[in-house]
Structure 1
Amino acid sequence: MKKLSASMTIIAVTLSGCAMSEGDFPSLQKRPYEDGAAIAESETLPAVEIALPADVQSDLNAAVARSGAAHSQFQSRLPAVKRRVDAARNAAVSSESWVAAHVELAALEGDRSPSVEALADIDALFRGQLERETVAGESGGTTIIARQRDVVQAQVDRQQTEIDAMMNRLR
């Protein structure tokens, strides 16, 4: 019974705020800036994207190119390494085929290291650009870098996935 009376009190107090008829309350009518034309007009404004400084753009292009070359080398070597790993799949640890597979995997890791280094370089470029934009009150350059970073990150992720899968087959 006490729960019912407490609930009724809460409901009565809550509803009493809705029943107030006195006071200066704001109108619920549409305001002029809420009409469709003004909203549609503001949605068509182009996003402003600043260009990167020439040296930053050059460094970014170089890092992306290094990663792309490393990824191509990785991809071209991958089928042979997979064959070697498959041949060593059930081999005894320290057997000739097992060691050969691990040597090939290590070489494949070496092929991908320029991609990982490029990713670190791009991260440094991003941090530097973010600092410049913060000081200057600008934005947009980090977006350019982030797009390229996503490409390199995807390459590094694919490489790591391939290496992990082969390492798991050798266990």
Structure 2
Amino acid sequence: MGRSNDARMKKIPLIVVGLALTLSGCAMQEGDFPSLAKRPYEDAATNSNPVSPPASPAVAALPGALQLAVDKAVRQSSLAHAKFLRNLSGVKRLVNNARGSAISSEAWVAAQMDLSALEIGRGPSISALADIDGMYISRLEAEYIDKDSGGAAIIAEKRELIQQQVKSQQDEIDAMKAQLR
């Protein structure tokens, strides 16, 4: 029993100190403290015509050499994409014929070979995407570091076109590969 009384006696000073600290916050002197009531500007109607930040300067054209490089990448990807689309129906036909065939059967091998050729044929589109990615990054750096005005948006628009072509090609190839499994 003596030990439990000792433990209680040791806890009492801690409790007293804790209460003193807690209650000291409630015993503040009266003073001139700010009101928590709403201020007049908090009830005012919001401005229906907010001021928009100034638009960044638009660039109508890229520097000549850069514009030529962007156009070349778009042309390269578009030509490869057109060729891809021309060859796509024939490859799809072979893949449909090979669906359900045994691996290494004649139909399966023919479909795989044409599918591989179709994949190789999209190389220029992928290369064009890599090229335009590099141009886009360089232009963004120039705008940020050198404070050159605009141009990245023009490249981004063309980049999106190439990226969509590459994605649609990949989606078609993935769908055909799934049929051959």
* TM-score normalised according to structure 1 size: 0.75
Q: Distance in 2 between matches of 1:36 and 1:90?
A: 64
CA separation in 1, counterparts of 2:34 and 2:53? 40
Does residue 110 (structure 1) correspond to residue 89 (structure 2)? The answer is: no
| 1:67-82 matches, cutoff 5 A | 67-82=77-92
Provide the identity percentage. 41
Measure, in 1, the Cα distance between the counterparts of 2:119 and 2:80.
Answer: 10
Structure 2 unaligned blocks of 5 or more? 1-21
Equivalent residues in 2 for 1:14-163 (5 A)? Answer: 22=33, 28-29=40-41, 35-36=47-48, 39=50, 42-43=51-52, 47-50=56-59, 51-163=61-173
Tell me how large the CA RMSD over aligned residues is. Answer: 2.8
TM-score norm. by structure 2 comes to: 0.71
**Deviation above 4 Å: which 4+ runs of structure 1?**
20-25, 34-37, 42-47
User: Secondary structure of the equivalent of 1:29?
Assistant: helix
What is the rounded CA distance, in whole Å, between the counterparts of 2:171 and 2:47 in structure 1?
51
Deviation of 1:150 after TM superposition, in Å, equals: 0.9
More helix by share: 1
CA distance in 2, matches of 1:61, 1:28: 58
Structure 1 residue runs without a partner (length 5+): 1-8, 14-19
| Aligned-residue offset at 1:28 | 3.7
Task: Give aligned pairs, total.
Answer: 149
Inter-partner Cα distance in structure 2 for 1:133 and 1:94: 54
